[in-house]
Amino acid sequence: MHKDTLKALLEAREKRHSVVLATSLDGGGEDLVPENALTQDHPQANELAECFRTGRSKIVETQGGEMFLQAFLPAPRLMIIGATHIGQVLVRLAREVGVEPFVIDPRTAFATEERFSDVEIIAEWPGEALGKLGLDRRSSIVCLAHVPDIDDEALEAALGSECFYIGALGSSRSHAKRLERLKDKGCEPDGFNRIHGPVGLDIGSVSPAEIALSIIAELVKTLRIHNGD
Amino acid sequence: MSVTLHTAQTWLDEGRDVALATVVETWGSAPVPVGGHLIIDGTGDFAGSVSGGCVEAEVIARSEDVLASGKPELLEFGVANETAWGVGLACGGRIRVFVEKLG
């Protein structure tokens, strides 16, 4: 790989741009294709489009021999609504699995740097904060505030976005009430099955750390099994 | 993208020779997915992985030739048969690894 290609790859990652690196396995060079530069004229247009869609890398046969198409999609992000104890553990677990965390909570007593050092913490209402960060299809969101005004606002934004995972803390009973409120606010019930509530894989979690683990496990499952990556 | 490529950039900036090994194909059980990276410098220091540890030593050894010649190589590792480089994968999988010089 040419050193300029490596630089361009790292730059694309920084800017959250999707690229595919096409490398000839016979030693015949490489080509870095940005998603926004892909046209139907490209000899491997369909295969490249599939790489961008699924995030999966693969070998394709070309006239010049085998070519490896390596997909580099933006790192997944997790918007944590509620600067709570579960959120503190989630920040660490998310990082370990390559997911970039952000913490959003308008309650300034919760959203302090002392409680959340080393992570971007945004002491704003979710609607405003998520509007700035942008919920793209490589983003996910989990609502932990347990305050309806805060969580509902975040869920409204999430349902209106392409984000790949939505989780909301609370029992089945409180989740049912939450869906009623969202319906009253005009959210389309068709999208309600996108919300994982009660949140997390059922591993019998009790402590905040165990609940955080179950959430991150469910997020990885969604990313890998349902989305491809 | 793995942090390994960031490390590769750091090593290049430090003036080290760097070989990049990428998993390009897997069959059956394989602990590192397609797209996994291992980087090796001229002294045999390495970061990242292309397997659960069973073929790393062989890839590191082959990277010396790649760094010396600048010519990439495509290596294949399998299980319990006569594999290209005589190293097998205990997990029962089969992988192909592309090794190239960075720079």
How high is the ipTM of this complex?
Answer: 0.87
pLDDT of residue B29: 74
Q: Which residues of A touch B72 (CB under 8 A)?
A: 25, 27
DSSP one-letter code for A153: H
pLDDT of residue B87: 56
Q: Which two tokens stand for residue B51?
A: 């397997």
- Residues of chain B with pLDDT > 90, as a percent, come to 62
Based on the structure, what is the number of domains in chain A?
2
* pLDDT of B74 strictly over 80: yes
Provide the domain limits for residue A218.
77-226
For chain B, domain boundaries: 4-102
CA triplet A132, A133, A138: central angle to 5 degrees? 145
Sign, Cα dihedral of A217, A219, A222, A223: negative
DSSP one-letter code for A226: I
d(CA B6, CA B45): 15
Q: In what order do the strands lie in the sheet with B73-77?
A: B46-48, B37-41, B18-27, B94-102, B73-77
pLDDT of residue B52: 79
* pLDDT of B92 strictly over 80: no
pLDDT of residue B88: 57
The closest CB to that of A25, out of B6, B24, B103, belongs to B24
Are residue A136 and residue A202 in the same domain, yes or no? yes
Which residue did the predictor score with more confidence, B54 or A215? A215
pLDDT of residue A64: 86
Which residue did the predictor score with more confidence, A64 or A25? A25
- Residues of chain A with pLDDT > 70, as a percent, come to 98
pLDDT of residue A10: 95
Interface of B with A (CB under 8 A): 1-2, 5-6, 8-9, 12, 20, 22, 24-25, 34-35, 71-72, 74, 98, 100, 102-103
Q: Which two tokens stand for residue A94?
A: 């998310």
Residues β-bridged to residue A141: A79, A166
The reply to whether residue A6 touches residue B6, judged by beta carbons under 8 angstroms, is: no
Mean local confidence (pLDDT), A10-27 = 92
CA B12, distance to chain mean position in Å, is 17
pLDDT of residue A229: 43
* pLDDT of B81 strictly over 60: no
> What amino acid is encoded at A5 in this protein?
T
Mean local confidence (pLDDT), A65-70 = 96
Are residue A95 and residue A208 in the same domain, yes or no? yes
Are residue A200 and residue A178 in the same domain, yes or no? yes
- Residues of chain A with pLDDT > 90, as a percent, come to 82
The owner of tokens 């209402």 is: A125
* pLDDT of B91 strictly over 70: no
pLDDT tens digits for range A79-121: 999 999 999 999 999 999 989 999 999 999 999 988 998 899 9
The reply to whether residue B8 touches residue A59, judged by beta carbons under 8 angstroms, is: no
Count of pairs with CB atoms under 8 A, one residue in A, one in B = 45
CATH number at residue A98: 3.40.50.720
Mean local confidence (pLDDT), A188-192 = 95
pLDDT tens digits for range A142-186: 999 999 999 999 999 999 999 999 999 999 999 999 999 999 999
Are residue A195 and residue A83 in the same domain, yes or no? yes
Which residue is closest to B6 within chain A, CA to CA? Answer: A10
Mean local confidence (pLDDT), A201-215 = 97
* Residue where a domain terminates, one of A57, A72, A87: A72
Are residue A130 and residue A208 in the same domain, yes or no? yes
Test mutation, B24, B32, B99, chain A, max A CBs within 10 A: B24
Q: Is A162 left (phi over 0), alpha (psi -120 to 50) or beta?
A: alpha
pLDDT of residue B82: 47
Are residue A96 and residue A22 in the same domain, yes or no? no
Are residue A38 and residue A142 in the same domain, yes or no? no
pLDDT tens digits for range B48-65: 999 877 788 999 999 999
Are residue A50 and residue A111 in the same domain, yes or no? no
Which residue did the predictor score with more confidence, A13 or A167? A167
* Residue where a domain terminates, one of A72, A99, A118: A72
Are residue A86 and residue A176 in the same domain, yes or no? yes
* Residue where a domain terminates, one of A42, A72, A102: A72
In whole angstroms, how far apart are CA A187 and each of A130, A148, A155, A178, A180? 17, 15, 9, 11, 10
pLDDT of residue A27: 78
Are residue A97 and residue A42 in the same domain, yes or no? no
Are residue A35 and residue A112 in the same domain, yes or no? no
